[in-house]
Structure 1
Amino acid sequence: MAGYRKLGRTSNQRKALLRNQVTALLNNGKIRTTEAKAKEIRRIAEGLIALAVKEKDNYETVTVQAKVARKDKDGKRVKEDGKVVFDTVEKTIKKDNASRLHARRQMLKVLYAVTEIPADAAGRKAATKKVDLVDKLFTEIAPKYADRNGGYTRIVKIGQRKGDAAMEVLIELI
Structure 2
Amino acid sequence: MAGYRKLSRTADQRKALLRNQVTALIYRGKIVTTESKAKEVRKIAEGLIALAVKERDNYETVTVTAKVARKDKDGKRVKEVVDGKKVTVYDEVQKEIKKDKPSRLHARRQMLKVLYPVKEVPAEAAGKKKNTKEIDLTAKLFDEIAPKYADRNGGYTRIVKIGQRKGDAAMEVVLELV
In 2: Cα distance, 1:118 partner to 1:76 partner? 23
Look up the SS of the partner of 1:151 in the other structure. coil
How far the C-alpha of 1:142 sits from its partner, in A, is 0.3
**Over the residues paired in the alignment, what is the CA RMSD in angstroms?**
1.0
1:9 counterpart = 2:9: yes
Look up the SS of the partner of 1:33 in the other structure. strand
How far the C-alpha of 1:117 sits from its partner, in A, is 1.9
- Mapping of 1:109-124 within 5 angstroms? 109-124=113-128
Give the aligned partner of residue 77 of structure 2. 77
How far the C-alpha of 1:119 sits from its partner, in A, is 2.5
Give the aligned partner of residue 87 of structure 1. 91
Query: CA deviation digits over 1:94-137, x for unaligned, max 9?
Result: 00000000000000000001111222332332132211110000
Instruction: Give the partner amino acid of 1:102.
Output: H
Question: 1:156 pairs with 157, 160, 164, which one?
Answer: 160
How far the C-alpha of 1:159 sits from its partner, in A, is 1.0
In 2: Cα distance, 1:64 partner to 1:88 partner? 10
How far the C-alpha of 1:18 sits from its partner, in A, is 0.1
Moved more, 48-57 or 112-121: 112-121
Query: CA deviation digits over 1:62-100, x for unaligned, max 9?
Result: 100001111222221122222212111110000000000
TM-score by length of 1: 0.96
Give the aligned partner of residue 46 of structure 2. 46
In 1: Cα distance, 2:69 partner to 2:131 partner? 23
Instruction: Give the partner amino acid of 1:164.
Output: D
Aligned length: 174
How far the C-alpha of 1:61 sits from its partner, in A, is 0.6
Give the aligned partner of residue 171 of structure 1. 175
In 2: Cα distance, 1:63 partner to 1:127 partner? 29
Moved more, 37-46 or 117-126: 117-126
TM-score by length of 2: 0.94
